[in-house]
Structure 1
Amino acid sequence: MTTNTVTLAITGASGAPYALRLLQILVKADYDIFVLISSAAKVVFATEEEVKIPSRPEDAAAFFSERFGAREGQITVCGKEEWFSPVASGSAAPKKMVVCPCSTGTLSAISVGASDNLIERAADVVLKERGQLILVTREMPLSTIHLENMLKLSQMGATIMPASPGFYHNPQKISDLVDFVVARVLDHLGIDQTLMMRWGYHHTNDK
C-alpha cells in the first residue's frame, strides 16, 4: 500500500456534495481511496444529489470510477460488514481517514469504540494506530452529548472539522461553499489544493 492512500467514509448526515467533491479531488490527486458508504448515506445521496449508489460494492466502485475518471483499481468500495478488507486491520489500513459527512450517530459510535460496522471499525483502527482521523460533522444545534463526544475524540487525536464554510472568499455559488470545506480537509491531509484562496493571498480558482 502506498502512502497516497486514504479511507473516505460517507455517513447519513446531510452533506452529499462535500463527499462527492472530496472524492473527485482525491482521484485527481492520484490517491488510492477506500470508500465506505452507510445505508443512510445512500438515502441522502438520492435526496440531495439525485444520485443512486449501486448496492453491490463492485458496482458502486465502477460507478464512482466512471463519474470521476479514476484509473483502474483506484477506488475500492467496501461493504459495511466486509471485515476482511484492509481498512479493518491495523496491519493494512491507510493511516489517513476522513468521515465526510459524519453523522452524530457515527460520531457517538466512534467515540465509544463500538465497531459495529466497517466505518466504525475503520475509524477505531486509525485511532489505535495513531493515524489521522478527520470527522466532518454536520449538525446544528449541537447538544451536550454531541459536544462531549467531539471533545473526547479531539483528546484522542481526531480532528473535528464541522462543515461550516466561511464567506471571506466571496462565494457566488453553492459549489464555492462546498469547495471551502473540502479545501480545508485537503489542507489537513497535506494535499495541495487551489480550490479556495488563502487568507491574505490572491489566486485564480482551479475549478
Structure 2
Amino acid sequence: MHPYVLAVTGASAQPLAERSLELLLANGRTVHLVLSRGAHAVFRAEQGLTIPVDSKKQISFWRQRLNVNKGELICHRWNDQSASIASGSYRTKAMVIVPCSMGTVGRVNAGVAMDLIERCADVHLKEKRPLVIAPRETPFSLIHLRNLTALAEAGATIAPPTPAWYTQPRTLEDMVNFLVVRLFDGLDEDLAPLQRWSGPLR
C-alpha cells in the first residue's frame, strides 16, 4: 500500500492530528508526517508539547509518546521542499490535512506553495490523488467558503471535524475517535471500532 501524507497546520485541533497518526501507525500504515511552523507553536501553547524539529528526533518523540511500534513513520521539516513527497513521481495513497488553517486553504487554492504542506497539497491535486482537508474555523467567512468550494471543485474532499451525539460519547476521547475515524472513512479506511448510525432506537 502506498504511504499517507499527514499534514498538521496551526489551527486549534491538534489532538485530531495526534490520534490520526496513532491510528494509522497502529494499523500498520506508512505515514509521512509534516508539521507546519504554526503547528509546532500550537502544540506548545495548547498542550505544552515541544516537538523536535529534527526529523529523527521527531520520530523518536512520536514513537515514545504514542507507544506504537507498528507502521513506518517518516517526519519532514515544514520547509523541506526537496523531500520525496514534494514530487509527483513519488506515489502516495492520499494526503490528509488535519487540522487545516484558513491560511493554508487560501494558499493551496491560489497555487502558492510556500512550504512542504502546500507543495504536497498541490501535488495531490495535480496528480488527481485524494486530498482530504479538515478545516478548523468558525464561522466561515465568504472568502473561506469560496476557497473551500474552489478546492472541492479541484478534487479535494472538504471534511470539517463536525461532532455527532448519536454515538452517545461519554468522554472527549470518544468524540476525537469519532471525528478521526469519520475523516478516514472516505479513504476506505476503518481505523478503529465505531458505533455507526443504524437508525433510531426502538
* TM-score bin (small chain): over 0.9
CA distance in 1, matches of 2:144, 2:84: 29
SS for the counterpart of 2:186 is: helix
Post-superposition CA distance 1:30-61 (Å, at most 9, x none): 11100010111111112222221112122112
The more displaced of 165-174 and 14-23 is: 165-174
Counterpart pick for 1:67 among 50, 65, 68: 65
Count of residue pairs brought into register by the alignment: 200
C-alpha distance 195-13 of structure 1, shift in aligned 2 (>3 A): farther
Does residue 29 (structure 1) correspond to residue 49 (structure 2)? The answer is no
Counterpart pick for 1:87 among 75, 85, 88: 85
C-alpha distance 175-72 of structure 1, shift in aligned 2 (>3 A): closer
CA distance in 2, matches of 1:73, 1:185: 19
CA drift at 1:67: 2.2
Alignment-derived partner of residue 55 in structure 1: 53
SS for the counterpart of 1:36 is: strand
Partner amino acid, structure 2, of 1:32:
T
CA distance in 2, matches of 1:94, 1:52: 29
CA distance in 1, matches of 2:71, 2:177: 26
Q: Where has structure 1 moved over 4 Å in runs of 4 or more?
A: 70-73
Matches within 5 A, 1:87-166: 87-166=85-164
CA distance in 2, matches of 1:173, 1:48: 19
SS for the counterpart of 1:189 is: coil
TM norm structure 2: 0.93
Alignment-derived partner of residue 16 in structure 1: 14
CA drift at 1:75: 0.9
User: Structure 1: any 5+ residue segments left out of the alignment?
Assistant: 202-207
TM norm structure 1: 0.91
Contact 1:17–1:49 (CA<8 Å) still a contact in 2?
no
CA distance in 2, matches of 1:41, 1:59: 17
Post-superposition CA distance 1:86-135 (Å, at most 9, x none): 11000004130000000000011111110111000000001100000000
CA distance in 1, matches of 2:120, 2:140: 25
